[in-house]
Chain A
Amino acid sequence: MTTLNSLLKKLIKASAGRSRFIMAVVGLSVALLLILSAVQIQMNYNDLLNSKTNQDSIANFLVINKTVTSSNVGETALTPAEIDDLKKQPFVDDVGILTASRYKLSAQGVSDQIPFYTELFFESVPDAFLDVTNKDWQWNQDSKFIPMIIPNMFLDMYNFGFATSQNLPQLSQELVMNLPVQINIRTTLGTVNYYGKVVGFSDRISSVLVPQNFMDWANEKYGEQGKKQPSRVVIRTRDAGNPQLVSYLTQHNLTTDADKTRFSKYRQIVTGVVNVSWVTGAVMLLFALLIFTLFIQLTIASCKEEIVLLVTLGAAPKQLQRFLMKQFFPPNIVIVVVVLLVISMLQFVLKQLLDKQNIYVNGLISPYTIAAGVVILTVLYLVNRFSIKKYIYQDK
């Protein structure tokens, strides 16, 4: 049976620029492959940073303070404006303020087996920033002891440096946690004694930590100086290797544990590769769109007489537009689908390769990659529609 479409197909042949059409298809395919690969690589990288199996819990929390130089000694406090600015940065998820004790205190051993005495300070940080979860980590005014978290590094320094050189016994974590400590807080009215107990060891924050509510209470009660600005903060970040973070810290004369930001260099390389892929893909997409537009223009121009006569006989421009859309758009869908399939295959192969190196990425392509494909398809649709409309109305 003859249909209007089959008749129109005979009249409006797209064969006018077969080679241009193939060029446009190839160009578009490569462009899409580059762009969607860039999206997929980005997604894989995000996956590596965020997924549970790959997460390095230390790397996600950074203690930040001003670099102490000869010019700013004694003025290393962070102003509220500086902290607010830090909070606003896209790479900072959360900022926790390290509160320092505003009273003098010392600690000493209670038992005779391990006698010691040391001047001490406390700091506190909101619980969300701690890497130690412990049922003993709580305090109220009726508590018998003050729970403390000390850095693992302290114990290591003692065990492997101090103890061996001074011929003292090495201490295990369990032993330290069972060791009662007397805390002396010196006030203007005399010394107040408390008991303290180490309840955990932190790799994250190198300080002697006490619960925030104890700190607030004790500062209120024994604090000598007025409220002081904090000079250290903890930030939570999804990616300690973010080059933006590193450059922000440098710019603002801030410093953190450099080791934790070491991924920054690798990250820059990945970002570089992704960006090159992006830009190349985008430029190619632009050219492919241009060729497609030219191809549509050429086809319509080569069928100018037919189109004019069709309109004369009563074909609506919209009818012709719909017909041309059916001719030109479906190849675009095919290209996007094929490219997505190719990327799925590549992703699967990549997973196999990385699995061997204990790096775990998703075997399936990211929904974002598919979404990007759909977005590009929409752009193609609009460009197709626009150029068909433009040239049809030019002709008729």
Chain B
Amino acid sequence: MTINLNNIVPIPLKEKFSQRGSDVWNRNVTLEKGEWIKIKAPSGTGKTTLVHTLYKLRDDYQGTVVWNGKELRGISDDNLALMRQQNISIIFQDLRLFQQLTARENIELNRLLQQPYYEAGKIAEMAEELQVTHILNQRAGLCSYGEQQRIAIIRSLMQPFDWLLMDEPFSHLDKNNTAKAAALIARECKARNAGFILTDLDEDEHFTYSRYMNL
């Protein structure tokens, strides 16, 4: 599943980009299946905008985003849902858990939205690995950001995908936990032969990236 970005420019940030060069905005970029891409950018340059644009949460941009030959703007609600169930998974910067559900229920929900990719037992396995077993039955709203972030990571790995979009996925984690989470994500991506796009503020060596880009 390739992603083509054809001269996309987010309308709200239009003025800013005319001032400086970017590897992504207003260019023709092709992201090939299986690429592990790191997008580095300072605050306020549109990392989240890019992730949301790719995930079709927003339409306010010029140019076109093409997923596997299909223009994102023209895709129907049902096909979009299917894509989000089968082809793209996401870890939001703002986590976006259901506060009133338990951590386990949050993960379970994404597992059950489509024909389950993993057995329910996989949740406990991953929770163990990321050291969040003890909060699985706690309401997400009561968990710390670090815990919520790990829940969001596990949630994103419960479904099949070709691309994993990660928007500063380790922002609330310490070094040790970041390493564990990165290892888990790398393993899951390899197992699916999937690519990912990770945005972050700084350089890092969490993964062996195949491409670096600056926003």
Seen from chain A, the residues whose Cβ lies within 8 Å of a Cβ on chain B are 2-4, 7, 10-11, 306, 309, 311-319, 393, 396
Contacts and interface: CB of A to CB of B under 8 A. Distances in A.
B82 interface: yes
B105 A316 contact: no
A319 B85 CA distance: 12
A318 B98 contact: no
Given A11-B100, A313-B113, 4 more contacts: A3-B112, A306-B98, A314-B114, A317-B78
Prevailing SS type, chain B contact patch = helix
Nearest to A2: B108
A315 B113 contact: yes
B84 A318 contact: no
A313 B109 contact: yes
B190 interface: no
6 contacts: A3-B112, A10-B101, A313-B109, A314-B159, A316-B81, A317-B77
B49 to A, nearest CB: 16
A188 B96 CA distance: 111
B11 interface: no
Contacts of B113: 4, 313-315, 319
Contacts of A317: 77-78, 81
Contacts of A3: 112
Interface in B149-196: 159
A311 B101 contact: no
B110 interface: yes
B109 A7 contact: yes
Prevailing SS type, chain A contact patch = helix
B105 A2 contact: yes
A313 B96 CA distance: 9
Interface in B80-105: 81-85, 96, 98, 100-101, 105
A32 B72 CA distance: 48
A11 B81 contact: no
Contacts of A10: 100-101, 105
Contacts of B110: 313-314
The 8 closest A-B pairs by CB, nearest first: A314-B84, A316-B81, A4-B112, A314-B85, A7-B109, A317-B77, A2-B108, A314-B113
Nearest to A393: B77
A68 B194 CA distance: 99
Nearest to B89: A314
A311 B108 contact: no
Contacts of A7: 101, 105, 108-109, 112
A313 B84 contact: yes
Contact of B78 (A11, A309, A316): A316
A324 to B, nearest CB: 15
Contacts of B83: 314
Given A2-B105, A313-B109, A314-B114, A11 B98 contact: yes
Contacts of B84: 312-314
A3 B108 CA distance: 9
Contacts of B81: 311, 314-319
Nearest to A392: B77
Contact of A309 (B82, B96, B114, B120): B96
Contacts of A4: 109, 112-113
A313 to B, nearest CB: 6
Nearest to A313: B110
Contacts of B114: 314
Contacts of B57: 312
A396 B105 contact: no
A2 B159 contact: no
B118 to A, nearest CB: 14
A11 B96 CA distance: 14
A322 to B, nearest CB: 12
A312 B77 CA distance: 11
Given A4-B112, A314-B110, A316-B78, A11 B101 contact: yes
Contacts of A312: 57, 84, 96
Contacts of B109: 4, 7, 313
Nearest to A316: B81
B52 to A, nearest CB: 10
A311 B81 CA distance: 7
B165 to A, nearest CB: 12
A325 B120 CA distance: 27
Contacts of A315: 81, 113
Interface string B65-81: 00000000000011001
Interface string B28-54: 000000000000000000000000000
A2 B108 CA distance: 8
B77 A316 contact: yes
Nearest to A10: B101
Interface string B100-128: 11000100111011100000100000000
A393 B76 CA distance: 12
Contacts of A393: 77
Nearest to B78: A316
Contacts of B112: 2-4, 7
A7 B109 CA distance: 7
Contact of B98 (A309, A316, A396): A309
A313 B101 CA distance: 15
A314 B105 CA distance: 16
Contacts of A311: 81
A317 B109 CA distance: 15
